Structure 1
Amino acid sequence: MKANKIIEMSQEKSRQKVKLAMDEIQRMRNEGERITVSGLCKRTGLSNSFFYRNPKIKEEVHKAVDIQNQSYKMNIDEVELLDEYKEKLLAMRIEIIKLKAENQKLKSELDFLRIQQEGVSDVK
């Protein structure tokens, strides 16, 4: 009877550790924190070996890390795309400035030609 009680207590303690680890993984995921075994060890007080030996926890950690890595990759791709768009936008703005300057120059030339034409028509 005493051995059964010890086994039962050990199993309950193990279930509590699993729950603690799962809750912490979920919390870190929800808060966008980088999930690492060392980070989980610090936050839960559980040993490094616990996260590698327990198949359920090990699988959950790997899943969470994979999801984060995919998310980071997508964020990097988005940042690169934004940088590309910013460069294109800057080039377009420079082109607009050049075109406005050319437009102003052409307007000035047109005004000059109109004045010349009025002078020629006044002479006739």
Structure 2
Amino acid sequence: MSKYDKMLEVNHKQSVEKIQRAKLTIQEMIEEEDKVTVPKLIQKTGLSRGFFYKNPEVRKAVDHALQVQAGM
């Protein structure tokens, strides 16, 4: 395995872990009836604002949480 392949593997693993951390935090906030906001997610996870807006999977989870909390 080349260094490049190894680097890609490590980056992918880190990305998956970040997505899991974000989605778990969102789910916990819903269960605790804590209002889900991007600033709170940034504080709880340590991830960047852009991560929550640019990552489609995480953005979908945030949008879903907002809809659930709005009573839709």
2:29 maps to a residue whose letter is M
What CA deviation, in whole Å up to 9, does each residue of 1:92-117 have, x standing for no partner?
xxxxxxxxxxxxxxxxxxxxxxxxxx
Q: Which runs of 5+ in 2 are unaligned?
A: none
Structure 1: runs of 5+ lacking an equivalent: 72-124
Larger Rg: 1
**Which residue of the partner structure matches residue 19 of structure 2?**
18
When normalised by structure 1's length, the TM-score is 0.56
Work out the percentage of aligned pairs sharing the same amino acid: 35
Any idea what SS the aligned residue of 2:71 has?
helix
Aligned to 2:21, what secondary structure does the other structure show? helix
SS at match of 1:70: coil
Give the Cα–Cα distance (whole angstroms) in 1 for the partners of residues 63 and 32 of structure 2: 18
CA distance, structure 1, for counterparts of residue 67 and residue 31 of structure 2: 15
Number of aligned positions between the proteins: 71
Q: Which has the higher helix share?
A: 1
CA RMSD of aligned residues (A): 0.9
Query: Residue 32 of structure 2 corresponds to which residue in structure 1?
Result: 31
Q: What SS class does the counterpart of residue 24 from structure 1 fall into?
A: helix
Partner of 1:50: 51
Where do 4+ consecutive residues of structure 1 move more than 3 Å? none
Q: Deviations over 1:47-97 (max 9, x none)?
A: 0000000001001100100110117xxxxxxxxxxxxxxxxxxxxxxxxxx
| TM-score, normalised with respect to structure 2 | 0.95
